[in-house]
Structure 1
Amino acid sequence: MGHKKVCLECRVSLNRPFDKGSELNYPCPECGKKMTLLPHRFRPPKKSEEKQWETIRFLIEKGFYFQHIYEKVETKNGVTSYKNYVAYPDNIRDAKEFVEKFKEQARKN
C-alpha cells in the first residue's frame, strides 16, 4: 500500500509506494526540506486551508501521525481493552483535547 509524503511548509502531499528508509531523506520538490511520511488514509486539505494544515502540524508535533487511535473501553471486571477507531480532529481546539485524551497512544520519537 502507498503512503503519503507531506511537506508541512509547502502544504504539499505526494502519493508514494512505501520504501523503507526513504521517509528519512525524501526532500520536498518545492522547498527541499524533509517530508513527513503518513499512512495512505491521510487525506490532505487544500493548500489554501491554512487552519487545517496548522492542526495537522500540531498533531504531528505531538506524535500523532494519523495512525489508528483507539477508544479505551473498560469492562466490569476491570479489564481494559481498546476498540473503535477514533476520528482525527479537524480544528486546533479539538486537536488539543484529542492530544490530551489519547496521549498514551502517541508515537514516541
Structure 2
Amino acid sequence: MDKQVRMEIRRANGTRAVTKPVQKVIGPEYSMSFVCFECKTSNMRQYDVTPCDYPNSSVCPVCGNTTINLGRNFKPPKKSDLAQWKKVKFLVDNGFVFQKIRVERNSIESIPYPETLSEAKEFVVRYRKWAIKRAI
C-alpha cells in the first residue's frame, strides 16, 4: 500500500485533516542593484511593478544620498577598490548602466564590460550609440 492510498484512508476515517493546497505568493520578478557612489555600497531592491517601471534612483539606506538603479546585471566591486568604483562612475556618467549590449540584431551574445578605466574610455567611444540617457 503506497503513501497516497494510506493518506486517503486516513482522510476518509477522519484521522487525517484535509488541508487546502498552499497557494504560492507571486512577488516581484527581479531584484535590481541600486548603487550609492558616496558610500560605495550596492543594495538589491524589489518593487511590485514590472521591471521597466522600476525607479531610476532612490535613497541610500546607509548614508541617505541618492542611489542609482544599475539593473540586475551589475556586480559591485569591493568597497576598498577605488579604481573599480571610478570606472563604474565613469561608465554611469556616460550612460552605461550595465545593461546588456548586443551589437548584432537578435543575437544572444552580449559585449562584456571593460575591466579598467582606460578600457572604459575606449568602450564609451566605441559603443556610444547604446548609451542610455535618463534623468536621475
Give the TM-score normalised by the residue count of structure 1. Answer: 0.82
**Structure-1 separation of matches of 2:35 and 2:114:** 18
Structure with a larger share of its residues in strand: 1
Alignment of 1:28-107 (within 5 A): 28-72=60-104, 81=105, 83=107, 84-107=109-132
Post-superposition offset of 1:32: 1.2
Post-superposition offset of 1:31: 2.1
Deviations 1:64-94 (A, max 9, x none): 000011235xxxxxxxx46320011121100
**Structure-1 separation of matches of 2:106 and 2:132:** 16
Larger radius of gyration, structure 1 or 2?
A: 2
Amino acid corresponding to residue 40 of structure 1 in structure 2: R
Name stretches of at least 5 consecutive residues in structure 1 with no aligned partner. Answer: 73-80
**Structure-2 separation of matches of 1:105 and 1:21:** 20
Task: Say whether 1:16 aligns with 2:48.
Answer: no
How many equivalent pairs are there? 100
Structure 1 moving runs of 4+ over 6 Å: none
What RMSD in Å do the two structures reach over aligned CA positions?
1.7
Name stretches of at least 5 consecutive residues in structure 2 with no aligned partner. Answer: 1-29
Post-superposition offset of 1:35: 0.3
Deviations 1:39-64 (A, max 9, x none): 11210011000000000000000000
Give the TM-score normalised by the residue count of structure 2. Answer: 0.67
Counting aligned pairs with the same residue, the percent is 35
